[in-house]
């Protein structure tokens, strides 16, 4: 008789995440090159996914779906977001995501309809942040 082998699944919070195709500084540069564009209105999640180098769908329906998944996997943090972190916030009756520039500043498609930089405190006082992981991205 052979032995039974049981594989232990490592919880998502303990896994080593693969590096994004585009590193933090390159992702921020990609975003800053698009400041002023209105082409990304209401596509804040897609914008962030593409900024970090993922061409295919993220596997999440929208930022609210992503936020719920990240919360369920204990991947959200409170406090000041470090440079390159994804910042999840509530504005205009929906969850949105931007990228932290550090020092309380973010970049991304903002509620007023264009890619811009802004003080996070001007957008929302209700936010959390996560590392820029797209576990289903390609």
Three-state secondary structure along 24-65?
A: HHHHHHHHHCCCCCCCCCCCHHHHHHHHCCCCCCCCCCCHHH
Query: For 55-103, how does the pLDDT look when each residue is reduced to its tens digit (9 = 90+)?
Result: 887 688 899 999 999 999 999 999 999 999 999 999 878 999 999 999 9
Alpha carbon distance 76, 69 (integer Å): 10
CA distances to 20, 27, 80 from 119, rounded to whole Å, are: 26, 19, 12
What is the pTM for the complete model shown?
Answer: 0.84
| Per-residue pLDDT, 138 | 60
Query: For 4-38, how does the pLDDT look when each residue is reduced to its tens digit (9 = 90+)?
Result: 433 333 444 434 456 899 999 999 999 999 999 99
């Amino acid at each position: 008789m052979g032995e039974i082998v049981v594989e232990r699944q490592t919880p998502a919070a303990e896994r080593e995440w693969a590096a994004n195709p585009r590193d933090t500084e390159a992702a921020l540069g990609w975003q800053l090159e698009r400041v002023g564009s209105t082409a990304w209105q209401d596509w804040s999640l897609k914008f962030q996914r593409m900024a970090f180098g993922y061409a295919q769908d993220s596997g999440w329906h929208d930022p609210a779906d992503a936020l719920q998944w990240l919360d369920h996997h204990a991947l959200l943090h409170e406090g000041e977001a470090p440079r390159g972190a994804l910042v999840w916030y509530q504005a205009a009756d929906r969850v949105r995501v931007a990228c932290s520039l550090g020092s309380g500043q973010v970049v991304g498609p903002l509620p007023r309809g264009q890619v811009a930089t802004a003080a996070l405190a001007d957008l929302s006082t209700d936010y959390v942040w996560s590392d820029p992981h797209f576990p289903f991205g390609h």
